Amino acid sequence: MNPNKQMIDKMGYDRSITMFSPDGRLLQVEYAKKTVKQGSTAIGLVCKDGVVLIADKRITSKLMIPETIEKMFRIDDHIAATAAGIISDARVLVDRAQLRAQQHAVTYDSKIDILSIVKDICDLKQVCTQSAGLRPFGVSMLVAGVEEDGSIKLFLTEPYGLYFQYKATVIGEGEVEVDAILQKKYKEGMSVEEGLKLGLSAMKEFLKTNFNFERIDAVYISSKNKRYTKLSDDELRRLMK
């Protein structure tokens, strides 16, 4: 078949999110996934004593102030999130998740469970794949935390509303390269410190000469105190020595 004819045929099916192509695909959903793959890298690791999130802030100008670039989000004291793709989309989802966590705390006087936050985010993402006039959220998110019973969880949410639980995972432009490193070097039972070192070394191996501590955000939530803790540049440097 003529390649131009194939392109014209495909164009007719990606103008509406509600229209399936003849081979059963929602093309705008696939485009959203490609947007995520162009986003800056984010890594999540479950450790024996907590959970770790590490993200590349991708500083595009030396005139930018690195501290103002948002890639890590505190949903509640015991839940953190990071994202790859359109970060403004992620902020909308984070605002919604933070409100849900606050409402739960006020209503039930207890901390919300992580899966409820993940499902709420994914419910909104899924609605945007079946309603005319909307577009899918162009962002994948890692949502991680420690439950009240001490269990440690890490979830990945896809742009189309599907979610998976992981021991370790990566999203963004470094997905292929960093996943290969995690598959080889991640071990169940590693400590938070070991998880941070693995995540940082994987990020350094992917970014190569572009790696510097100013462009890296890292947080962990300890199973001991169930508190969101962000590491400073100096703390990250000490870990890499």
CA nearest to 53, candidates 44, 41, 61:
44
Checking if the pLDDT of 152 tops 90, the result is: yes
The tens digit of pLDDT for each residue in 21-76 reads 888 888 899 999 999 999 999 999 999 999 999 999 999 888 999 889 989 999 99
- Chain-centre distance for alpha carbon 239: 23
What does pLDDT average to over the chain?
A: 93
Per-residue confidence (pLDDT) for residue 17, from 0 to 100: 79
User: Which segments of 86-165 are extended strands (E)?
Assistant: 139-146, 152-157, 163-165
Per-residue confidence (pLDDT) for residue 79, from 0 to 100: 98
Checking if the pLDDT of 13 tops 80, the result is: no
Per-residue confidence (pLDDT) for residue 21, from 0 to 100: 84
Query: Which residues neighbour 80 within 8 Å (Cβ) at sequence distance 6 or greater?
Result: 51, 53, 72, 73, 74, 143, 144, 145, 219, 221, 228
Gap between the Cα atoms of 87 and 70, Å rounded: 8
Counting Cβ atoms within 10 Å, is residue 37 exposed (0-12), middle (13-18) or buried (19+)? middle
Side-chain half-sphere CA neighbours of 198 within 13 A? 28
Q: Of how many residues is the chain composed?
A: 241
Q: Sorting pLDDT into bands at 50, 70 and 90, what band is 138? A: very high
Reading the block at residue 51, the tokens are 């959970």
Query: Which residues neighbour 30 within 8 Å (Cβ) at sequence distance 6 or greater?
Result: none
- Chain-centre distance for alpha carbon 116: 17
Mean pLDDT in residue range 85-99: 97
Per-residue confidence (pLDDT) for residue 5, from 0 to 100: 53
For each of the domains in the chain, give its residue range(s) and CATH number, in order of start.
Answer: 39-240 (3.60.20.10)
Checking if the pLDDT of 127 tops 90, the result is: yes
Write the Ramachandran bin of 124: left for phi over 0, alpha for psi from -120 to 50, otherwise beta: alpha
